[in-house]
Each structure stands twice: as C-alpha cells, then as structure tokens.
Amino acid sequence: MAETSFHGKVAVITGGASGIGAALARQLAQAGAKVVLADRQLDLAERIASEICAAGGSATALELDVRDLPQTLRVVRATVEQLGSLDYFFNNAGIGVGGEIDGYAAADWDDVIDVNLRGVTYGIQAAYPVMIAQGSGHIVNTASVAGLLAVAGEGSYGATKHAVVGLSKVLRMEAKRHGVRVSVLCPGAIRTPILTGGKFGRMNYEGLTDEAVLKMWARVRPMDVDVFARKALTAIGKNEALIIIPSWWKALWYLERLSPSLSSRLWERMSASLRADMESAGARPVSRRG
C-alpha cells in the first residue's frame, strides 16, 4: 500500500468498530490518514479509536446507525467541520442473516435490507454532494463475493450485495465527471465476526453452534482481516473499480460469467454438501412453513 495515497486524507468508515471496518481504520491511520469510526457500537468504536491514537495515528469515533439518514448527514457534516474535508467514505457497515428463505421472518428481510442496502444509499446521499462540491473524493462500498455469485443460505445477504455491486457500477460512471471515484469491495471469506452472524445478525438454524459454523468456514480458508485491509487499500489507491479479495475467488466469478449454468450446478453441489455437514452437526434450517 502506498502511504502517500492516504497521508493527510480524511476517511469516514461506517461499521468501523469491528471486523473489516476496524482493520481498514488501523491500516489507514498507519498510512497517515485521519479516520472517523462511525458505528452504533460507540463504546467499541471509541476503544478502537483510542488504540489507534495510542499507536500514533489520528482517529475519532462517532455514533452512527446507518439506517438513519439524519444521523449519517450529521456524521458527514461533523467530519467536514472538524477535519476540513471528506476524502474517503467507506460504506462498510453490514449484517448477515444466514438461513434458507423459507425460514425467514419479515424482520430478517427488513434488518438486512435496511443496513446493507439502505445504509449504503444513505451514505451516498450524505457523502456524494460534499465530494461533488470539493471536486474530489472516493466512495468505497463494501459488497461481497455473494454480490457476484448465488450462494444458498444467503438469500437476503446476497440480494443486498448484488444491489450494492450494481449501484456502485452506476455511481462510478456518473461520478467520474465530478472528479469523484467509486470502488466496490467484494470480500470472500474474511475472518471477522460476521462469519457467525456478528453483533446484529443471526443464523436461522436450530442447534447450530458458532464452533460448528467456524469449522465449516475453515474449508474456504478465511483470510486474516488485517491482510485483507492492506490488500484492499492497495487496490483502492489504484482506483480499481471491482476489488475481489482473496484473489482466488475471482476464478469462481469468472466461471459465473462464462457459464452461469455450470456455476449454478457447482454451487448446488456445494450447498448440498453444506446442508449435509450441518445435519451431521445436529443443525437444521428454521422453517416457518405452515
């Protein structure tokens, strides 16, 4: 990562209190950026900000529920007033509800759509006009490889992440004439709390333990979150449009583009294998039928 790309820049990171958000904050601060950790877990965000400052970086924490547009506008306004500009806005906050669609309650759809999609649109609504006025800035939206591939058990998550990818591609085209850059992150499996649902997400399976979930994830070799953040920021510094990390997930994306039917068969087999693993672990999907 070229430190000169971020030195002295101001970066707001939603969901900055944990996982990918916290890792991005640490790496940006090491590169000389002034970071604002915006999260509804304010105590945790303040702790991460204190650790960054103790290590010689510049970080502040602000409370933010990305489902609330006025809060998002206040965070952007406070950042510009206190730090003078808004160079990077990371729409990173996200949650997951794992489970098959026949096990969803209406609240499962609402929770995931409100954070993963509406939260991103609110971030754009708040940050984009500031960047247009500046004639510069970079919006980075966190999607997922689940926004490029169809993965059983991730219906709501995949739907929102597909939407974030599409939104990012359109915004990148439109924003170019304003001098504003847009990138979308598509992480594969990264070692963060979201693997087991995270603070605000959940797994709609009966009898499923976090230990069993992590054992299943181990098959796809989750990447260390700090390694991910370094690689992601290197790509962002190069203004890459679509950033897939770990890079081996690109092979599955290429297969999806070249042969959607073959890709579907592959994921159907993987889903059947996953279901068998869960059943052997004593877990079964929640069903709300009948």
Catalytic residue annotation: 157
HSE on the CB side for 217, CA within 13 Å? Answer: 20
Cα gap 232→242, rounded to integer Å: 10
Name the H helices within 84-209: 106-113, 119-134, 155-175
Three-state secondary structure call for residue 283:
coil
Distances (CA, A) of 259 to 165, 247, 251: 20, 19, 12
What string of DSSP letters covers 142-164? E--GGGTS--TTBHHHHHHHHHH
Cα gap 123→215, rounded to integer Å: 35
* DSSP3 helix / strand / coil % (the chain, rounded to 5): 55, 20, 25
